[in-house]
């Protein structure tokens, strides 16, 4: 759970204050469009979250990087002595690319769930923002782009560490940056759907246990997909993390990418569809 980037000063909108005092006038909601008003307004939400995060940047970055680094060096160095090479490279180099992709999923998902839920439900920061000339679509897009930005930071940090140790081909590995951005948006959008449905923080454990953990184990992060039975290999084709790994790993290892267009289309479809679904669910939750 990544709670470090929450604003320590809760923002209470007039609507929230009304809800807290039954004797006050009833809260009013105003009709708002489903989509963002333009392509600029969401940057204000992004900037607001950045300014809060900047005060806690170092502990936040340590928290985001701890798990993937433990996987990388714990499993990479430990199992690497037993496994040897995988697909023509050392196991730790194979794992480094998969860990880069999985860290994007983890960072984007946790930010869109725990931190965004705090701003939406606990602090009611979203309600305060929507009293300005911003719509719910602006707020949600800003939150998703902020979560994707943190995912990019996490993924790039692991990539640079791997490259410095000789487990990734630099500077060619930097060509994976657009893929990391797209994957971050996709995972942040999917997690925002969970946030729209969540009654409390405990609800997120279901998504972590039933969706994220199986995806982590079945998407080629720790072992080649060819080791799975044929039926399981076919099932992995619907997992966004599998497509992210299939793009990031060959780029980091300096190899050609197979089915490039297919992987990009799948990740783009997850990002677009999940964003629309999240907006619809959040409008029903917040503006009814």
Tell me the domain boundaries of the chain: 57-286
Beta-carbon contacts of residue 186 (< 8 Å; ≥ 6 apart): 240, 244, 267, 268, 270, 271, 274
User: What span, in angstroms and rounded, lies between the C-alpha atoms of 135 and 32?
Assistant: 6
Positions of E strands within 81-237: 85-86, 89-90
The pLDDT score that the predictor gives to residue 27 is: 42
Q: How far apart are the first and last CA of the chain?
A: 30
How far is residue 156's CA from residue 30's CA, in Å, rounded to a whole number? 41
What is the model's pLDDT at position 19?
42
The model's pTM? 0.84
Q: What are phi and psi of 90, to 5 degrees?
A: -65, 150
Please tell me the predicted confidence (pLDDT) of residue 32: 55
pLDDT in tens, the chain (288 residues): 444 454 544 444 444 444 444 443 344 444 455 667 777 889 999 999 999 998 887 877 777 677 777 777 777 777 776 777 888 888 888 999 999 999 999 999 999 999 999 999 999 999 899 888 888 999 999 999 999 999 999 999 899 988 888 889 989 899 999 999 999 999 999 999 999 999 999 999 999 999 999 999 999 999 899 888 888 888 899 999 999 999 999 999 999 999 999 999 999 999 999 999 999 999 998 876
pLDDT at 33: 59
Those residues with Cβ within 8 angstroms of residue 11's Cβ, 6 or more apart along the chain or in another chain: 123, 124, 125, 128
The pLDDT score that the predictor gives to residue 109 is 96
DSSP letter at 25 equals P
d(CA 155, CA 177): 9
Token pair listed for 100: 């880069």
Among residues 141, 109, 179, the alpha carbon closest in space to that of 275 is found at 141
């Amino acid at each position: 759970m990544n709670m470090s980037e929450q604003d320590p000063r809760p923002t209470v909108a007039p609507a929230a204050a009304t809800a807290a005092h039954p004797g006050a006038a009833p809260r009013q909601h105003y009709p708002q469009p489903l989509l963002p008003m333009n392509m600029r307004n969401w940057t204000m939400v992004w900037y607001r979250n950045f300014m809060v995060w900047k005060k806690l940047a170092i502990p936040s970055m340590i928290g985001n990087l701890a798990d993937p680094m433990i996987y990388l060096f714990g499993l990479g160095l430990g199992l690497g002595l037993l496994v040897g090479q995988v697909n023509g490279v050392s196991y730790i180099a194979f794992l480094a690319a998969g860990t880069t992709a999985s860290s994007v999923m983890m960072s984007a998902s946790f930010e869109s769930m725990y931190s965004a839920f705090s701003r939406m439900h606990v602090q009611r920061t979203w309600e305060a923002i929507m009293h300005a000339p911003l719509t719910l679509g602006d707020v949600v897009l800003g939150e998703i782009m902020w979560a994707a930005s943190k995912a990019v930071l996490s993924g790039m940090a692991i990539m640079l560490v791997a490259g410095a140790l000789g487990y990734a081909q630099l500077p060619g590995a930097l060509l994976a940056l657009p893929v990391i951005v797209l994957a971050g948006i996709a995972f942040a959008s999917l997690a925002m759907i969970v946030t729209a449905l969540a009654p409390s923080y405990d609800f997120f454990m279901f998504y972590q246990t039933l969706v994220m953990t199986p995806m982590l184990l079945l998407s080629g992060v720790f072992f080649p997909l060819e080791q799975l039975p044929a039926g399981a290999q076919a099932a992995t084709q619907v997992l966004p993390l599998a497509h992210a790994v299939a793009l990031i790993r060959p780029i980091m290892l300096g190899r050609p990418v197979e089915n490039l267009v297919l992987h990009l289309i799948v990740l783009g479809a997850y990002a677009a569809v999940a964003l629309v679904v999240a907006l619809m669910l959040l409008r029903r939750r917040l503006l009814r």
